């Protein structure tokens, strides 16, 4: 085999193997190499999370936290839930509302993100053009989320550009009220903010698909939809699941978007935590944070059952 016939991935793997052997040769074990990241993970994630769980079981009054074990912060959240059945109590209605927005945003970002990634991966032939267009998708991230949210207000407001256009075109007789400070505006803002989190992992998965498989499917007589459904989507599942985890976890804990685009009229799970913190009720805030984390982890586990992300990567 000549040197020119060795593929780039093979060279890369050989280089990584040589580097690992070099580290092993100087006596640096793997656990020691991972220690810096492990320490960062321990001090900035594990320990704060443990402290939040501990505080969630503390008692409190109007003036201070009392370091004595109690489940008061949890029982108060679900107080009256069993009594009101089949009606839902406030906390359950809040989580159902948040889950509804999660599903809507997940679906819209998945459709848009998958379409963009598919176009970049299979319809743009030049690698340079692919990268340029991919970088164009990152332009909105050059500004803060708050600015991007506020930019919708002049467009969707009662006297905004959209209503002006609808009135001048005689499509409506009066300004449309539900365009702003409504579930529609919240979902639109979330889709605008987080579609890129769906584009990146799906595009990465699609770029790993061997284009010869697609050509073989067409040669075998498969239509475009059959190739998409039976080949591209199954091979893109790891990217879809990773993007879904990003979008769902961010939406579940968000409260700023709900406040700005919902006019502080739409409840969310993250808003419950923020309200408790503003009232200086730290144990209930910690309890709600733990509940929110548990619900989010259940969603992630359910998504991971669709595709074993760790195995696929």
pLDDT at 6: 44
pLDDT digits (tens, 9 = 90+) for 100-151: 999 999 999 999 999 999 999 888 888 888 888 888 888 877 888 888 888 8
* Residue 264 and residue 255 in contact, taking contact as beta carbons nearer than 8 Å: no
Q: How far are the Cα atoms of 25, 36, 60 from residue 28, in angstroms, in the given order?
A: 8, 13, 49
pLDDT at 118: 92
Whole-angstrom distance, CA of residue 70 vs CA of residue 35? 36
pLDDT at 7: 46
pLDDT at 11: 47
Intervals of the chain under pLDDT 70: 1-27, 80-88, 309-313
pLDDT at 31: 79
Of 42, 56, 46, 40, nearest in space to 292 by CA:
56
Domains of the chain, residue spans = 87-312
Whole-angstrom distance, CA of residue 137 vs CA of residue 149? 17
E strand or H helix that includes residue 289: helix 282-306
pLDDT at 202: 93
Question: 60: helix, coil or strand?
Answer: strand
Is 3.40.50.11890 the CATH number for 87-312?
Answer: no
Of 208, 217, 197, nearest in space to 236 by CA:
208
* Residue 270 and residue 255 in contact, taking contact as beta carbons nearer than 8 Å: yes
Angle at 47 between CA 43 and CA 48, to 5 degrees: 100
């Amino acid at each position: 085999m000549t040197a020119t016939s060795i593929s780039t991935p093979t060279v890369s793997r050989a280089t990584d193997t040589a580097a690992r052997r070099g580290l092993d040769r100087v006596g640096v074990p793997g656990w020691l190499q991972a220690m810096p990241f492990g320490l960062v993970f321990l001090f900035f994630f594990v320990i704060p999370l443990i402290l939040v769980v501990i505080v969630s079981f503390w008692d409190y009054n109007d003036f201070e936290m009392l370091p004595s074990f109690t489940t008061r912060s949890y029982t108060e959240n679900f107080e009256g839930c069993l009594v009101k059945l089949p009606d839902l109590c406030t906390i359950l209605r809040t989580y159902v509302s948040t889950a509804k927005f999660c599903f809507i945003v997940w679906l819209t970002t998945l459709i848009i993100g998958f379409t963009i990634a598919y176009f970049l991966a299979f319809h743009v032939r030049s690698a340079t053009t692919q990268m340029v267009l991919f970088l164009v998708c990152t332009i909105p991230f050059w500004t803060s989320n708050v600015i991007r949210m506020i930019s919708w207000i002049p467009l969707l407001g009662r006297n905004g550009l959209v209503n002006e256009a609808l009135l001048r075109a005689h499509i409506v007789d009066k300004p449309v009220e539900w365009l702003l400070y409504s579930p529609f505006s919240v979902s639109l803002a979330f889709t605008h903010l987080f579609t890129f989190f769906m584009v990146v992992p799906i595009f990465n998965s699609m770029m790993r698909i061997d284009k010869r498989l697609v050509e073989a499917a067409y040669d075998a007589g498969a239509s475009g939809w059959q190739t998409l459904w039976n080949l591209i989507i199954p091979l893109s599942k790891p990217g879809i699941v990773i993007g879904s985890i990003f979008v769902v976890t961010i939406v579940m804990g968000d409260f700023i978007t709900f406040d700005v685009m919902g006019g502080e009229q739409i409840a969310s799970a993250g808003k419950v935590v923020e309200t408790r913190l503003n009232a200086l009720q730290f144990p209930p805030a910690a309890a709600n944070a733990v509940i929110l984390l548990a619900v989010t982890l259940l969603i992630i586990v359910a998504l991971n059952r669709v595709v074993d992300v760790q195995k696929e990567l």
